[in-house]
Amino acid sequence: MHIRDRGIRYDWLGRLCACLNTDRAGYPQKLRDWQGANGLAPTGFIDAQTRLKLIEDEAFNNDLTTRLKIRTYGVDKNLWRTTCALSTSGTEAALYDRLTDILLALHSYVPEEPFSASILAIRGVTPSGDGYHHTESARMFAQQPYGARTHFSSNKADYADSLFALMTREGKEKHVQCFMGVTSPCSIWPHGTAHLCLGQYFYKIGKHRTREPAHIETAEAMFRNRIWPENWLYERTEDSIRYAALEGTSQIEVVRSTGDSLDISPSDIARAEREIAERNPAFVDAQTIKINIHSCSQTHASSLGCQNILPEDYRDFLGTLMRIADLQTDRYGFALDIPYTLCDASELPT
């Protein structure tokens, strides 16, 4: 199966294979066996009824490494640690290997071709001293009940999350670049704010338009001061600016918070499980939802669901991925999709 066939996330299918004790080639037959044992037509396809039945099976949802249910913020408060979540005291190659181990433990696709690139975003850790440590706001969020939680992307000192770009050069030389960003929405969308579910998705170099005044002001300053290259600017209008960013190429999965809160309730998650299983475009279609990866204002995150990179990191972040895409085009004739994995700090494997 191709990594994006049938709208099934690569990492979700990997978790299912682990639950069924099989590999990707053998899972259809194992799934037929499971479907037959659970009163479903043994088709070997993950239709809506099968997916909903799978996420109801507690045997498949009692372990974070194989959990099929939606995973969001603060997955398990008992996993939060006060020690360093990710050490940077070793070599760059050692950090690359550690991040790769995390991706594989999350059942994510890790490209192995020369000049490959992938991104691991970890919500709730920021750099400090010898590595990346859990933020206090993330710890509090994980340990507080719904309604009392402060969203990660609130305007506070430690709201920034960490994103790691993993790249290989000729001869598969390992290279890692680290960036600060925000992986959660900070503004309420009246029809239900989109929160990207933890998991792996695929992106390409594209464009993003913003109409948020502070975001526009920051982008204009970046172009005016030649911090961002002029050819990244695609369009200006009276109330918007459009510039280079990453756009989704695969289907995505979101939970939509409701009301006047950015917090996600159990009923929000239950609704999302049903809508994702039914492939409702408002919950899965990348072009309908447009969870892009782009920059933001200097003073706060600028997102109704997109993934933000802090402005001071954005030139290096996007510029690096553009150079990799150019090298891929020279080598393969086209640029490869960029795998983007979002995980929560509480689910980092030890």
Mean pLDDT across the stretch 237-256?
A: 96
- Give the Cα separation of 293 and 208 in Å (integer): 8
Mean pLDDT across the stretch 326-330?
A: 93
Query: Can you give 140-174 as a three-state secondary structure string?
Result: HHHHCCCCCCCCCCCCCCCCCEEEEEEEECHHHCE
**Tens digits of per-residue pLDDT, 78-126?**
555 566 778 888 899 999 999 999 999 999 999 988 889 999 999 888 8
Binned at pLDDT 50, 70 and 90, residue 6 comes out as: low
Whether residue 156 is predicted with pLDDT greater than 60 in this model: the reply is no
pTM flag (> 0.85): yes
Whether residue 199 is predicted with pLDDT greater than 70 in this model: the reply is yes
Query: Between residues 7 and 44, which one has the greater pLDDT?
Result: 44
pLDDT of residue 4: 45
Residues in the chain: 350
55 CB neighbour count, 10 Å cutoff: 18
On the 0-12 / 13-18 / 19+ scale of CB atoms within 10 A, 31 is buried
Supply 350's token pair.
């030890």
pLDDT of residue 5: 46
Mean pLDDT of the chain: 88
349 CB neighbour count, 10 Å cutoff: 13
Whether residue 284 is predicted with pLDDT greater than 90 in this model: the reply is yes
- Give the Cα separation of 252 and 287 in Å (integer): 10
Whether residue 289 is predicted with pLDDT greater than 90 in this model: the reply is yes
pLDDT of residue 78: 55
Binned at pLDDT 50, 70 and 90, residue 185 comes out as: confident
- Give the Cα separation of 21 and 122 in Å (integer): 28
Angle formed at CA 161 by CA 155 and CA 164, multiple of 5 degrees: 155
pLDDT of residue 53: 96
pLDDT of residue 1: 35
Whether residue 7 is predicted with pLDDT greater than 90 in this model: the reply is no
Given its phi and psi angles, is residue 32 left (phi above 0), alpha (psi -120 to 50 degrees) or beta?
A: alpha
Element (H, E) at 14: helix 10-20
Sign for the CA dihedral angle at 59, 62, 67, 70 comes to positive
Mean pLDDT across the stretch 157-186?
A: 85
Query: Between residues 212 and 139, which one has the greater pLDDT?
Result: 212
* Number of Cα atoms under 13 Å in the Cβ half of residue 9: 30
Query: Between residues 79 and 150, which one has the greater pLDDT?
Result: 150
Query: Between residues 158 and 305, which one has the greater pLDDT?
Result: 305
pLDDT of residue 129: 81
Mean pLDDT across the stretch 222-232?
A: 96
Decide the pairing of beta strands 131-134 and 86-87: antiparallel
Provide the 8-state DSSP code for 79.
G
pLDDT of residue 3: 44
Is 248:305 a contact under the CB 8 Å cutoff?
A: no
- Give the Cα separation of 178 and 298 in Å (integer): 18
Binned at pLDDT 50, 70 and 90, residue 153 comes out as: low
**Tens digits of per-residue pLDDT, 12-42?**
999 999 999 999 999 999 999 999 999 999 9
Q: How far is CA 266 from CA 17, 231, 257, 258, in A?
A: 26, 44, 10, 11
On the 0-12 / 13-18 / 19+ scale of CB atoms within 10 A, 271 is middle
Q: Is residue 27 helix, strand or coil?
A: helix
pLDDT of residue 222: 96
Question: What residue spans define the domains of the chain?
Answer: 5-60, 77-347
Weakest mean pLDDT among 145-159, 163-177, 293-307: 145-159
